[in-house]
Amino acid sequence: MVSESLNISTQIWAITLGVIFIVTLGDLIWAWFHRNSITTLKEAAIWTGIYVSAAIAFGISLRSWGGQTKSAEFFAGWITEYSLSIDNLFVFLIILSRLKIEKEKEQLVLLLGILMALVMRGIFIVIGAAVVERFVAIFFLFGAILIWTAYKLITEDPEEDEWQENRIISALRKRGYSTFTIALVALGTTDLLFALDSIPAIFGLTRDPYIVFMANAFALMGLRQLYFLVGILLRRLVYLSKGLSIVLGFIGIKLIIEALHGIGIDYIYGVKVPHISLTVSLGVIISALAVTTVISLRASGDYGKAEKK
């Protein structure tokens, strides 16, 4: 079962939001002053390492004031959301490439797109927490969304582009809006679609609004720098979507089980409905992503050797 929520005061929320605002503002200022330069792979790798280290440090520190369970919930949520965010970046890469955004302007477009994602997820978290608190049966819907998403990921053609222009983008293009504006709208609509998957996924691991928000915040912060590594990752993590499909499918089933317990159904035709512990959840998430990463790296390595011959 999911543990009780942390008793986070308004002051802690204010400090947390203030720190995230300062970090994001600093990133925005940096992106603005370096908007005419191209981020190097070394710079991107260093900053990505800093943000990942910050998330790990937060998760470890959570043990001392939130308890081991909350720390595990954060790591399970953060790993899941970070993996989904990397998949999100793959789509960003396709969008910016197809719209032919200048390399020098990518930094600013990306940061604004990530800011929109953070705001949208924040709104969805507030709404989701309120709905889950009152209607646990909503987990049936959340579970169905994740299982459907898992099915789409497992059956999609890896060679097929994941993004197609929608009517809004086509209309803006016909009316003569700038490519920069069109790119922002495209990233915003993509953020909205990804939030519909990511929020149910995190609520399948924890119902604590603070943990949900922090997992998403750490998953989104630093994505601008990570984007410039995605070109390499995209060629090597060829099976990432398959690993994500396993994770989302598992969490979807877990949500439906939670919903059954929530409405008082503990047995179905005499068979006890199991409780899936957080330890099992974390194990499935790490194992699925680790195995698909190893398989991807081996497959891409073999492909690279074959190309050289």
Quote the pLDDT of residue 44: 80
Indicate if the alpha-carbon torsion angle 77, 79, 83, 89 is positive or negative.
positive
pLDDT at position 252: 87
Over residues 28-54, the pLDDT tens digits come to 787 777 767 777 778 888 888 888 999
What pLDDT sits at residue 58? 92
Q: Which residue's entry shows tokens 């009152």?
A: 134
Residue 22: other Cβ atoms inside 10 A:
10
Annotated domain spans of the chain: 10-304
Residues of the chain with pLDDT under 70: 1-5, 35, 103-104, 157-166, 230-235, 300-309
- Which residue do the tokens 């011959």 mark? 309
- Which residue carries 């954060």 as its tokens? 74
pLDDT at 4: 58
Tell the burial category of 148 from Cβ atoms under 10 Å away from its Cβ (0-12, 13-18, 19+). Answer: middle
DSSP-derived 3-state class of residue 252: helix
Is 35 buried (19+), middle (13-18) or exposed (0-12) by CB count in 10 A?
middle
pLDDT for res 74? 92
Judged by DSSP in three states, 275 sits in coil
Tell the burial category of 164 from Cβ atoms under 10 Å away from its Cβ (0-12, 13-18, 19+). exposed
- Kindly give the residue spans of alpha helices, DSSP state H, lying in the chain: 10-33, 41-66, 68-98, 106-134, 138-155, 167-174, 179-203, 209-220, 223-236, 240-262, 278-308
pLDDT score of 304: 52
Amino acid at 244: L
- Which phi and psi angles does 178 have, rounded to 5°? -65, 155
